[in-house]
Amino acid sequence: MTSFGALTNALTRRKIQVINHLLVLDIIAILLTILYAVYQGDLSAADPLIYTMSYSLVVFFVAFILIARHNERIFVNDSYRLVPTSDTGLYSANLLSAFISMIYLGVTQIIFSMIAAAMNFQQVMTTLGQVFEHSSPTPGSMNSRSEIIGALIGLVILMIVSTIFAWASISLIHLTTSALTAFLPDIRSRLYRFILYVVVIAAILYILGKIVNPIGDIFYGMVNDNSYYQIYLSSLALLVVAGLESAVNVYLLRNWVETTNW
Give the percent of the chain with pLDDT over 70.
81
Give the percent of the chain with pLDDT over 90.
48
What spatial distance separates the first Cα and last Cα of the chain, rounded to whole Å?
23
Q: Of 104, 73, 98, 96, which is closest to residue 5 (Cα–Cα)?
A: 96
Contacts of range 93-97, beta carbons closer than 8 Å, 24 or more positions apart:
93/4, 93/7, 93/8, 93/11, 94/11, 95/71, 95/164, 95/167, 95/168, 95/246, 96/8, 96/12, 97/8, 97/11, 97/12, 97/14, 97/15
pLDDT at residue number 45: 76
Judge contact between 75 and 174, C-beta under 8 A.
Answer: yes
Report, as an integer, the average pLDDT of 196-221: 77
Assign 73 a pLDDT band (cuts: 50, 70, 90): very high
**Residue 154 carries which DSSP code?**
H
> CB neighbours of 25 closer than 8 A, spacing ≥ 6?
none
Judge contact between 253 and 90, C-beta under 8 A.
Answer: yes
pLDDT at residue number 207: 86
Q: Of 140, 120, 142, 143, which is closest to residue 131 (Cα–Cα)?
A: 143
Q: Where are the beta strands (DSSP E) in the chain?
A: none
Q: Of 243, 232, 212, which is closest to residue 95 (Cα–Cα)?
A: 243
- Whole-structure pTM value: 0.85
Q: Of 161, 172, 182, 197, which is closest to residue 249 (Cα–Cα)?
A: 172
pLDDT at residue number 124: 64
Report, as an integer, the average pLDDT of 93-111: 95
Greatest Cα pair distance, the chain, in angstroms, is 67
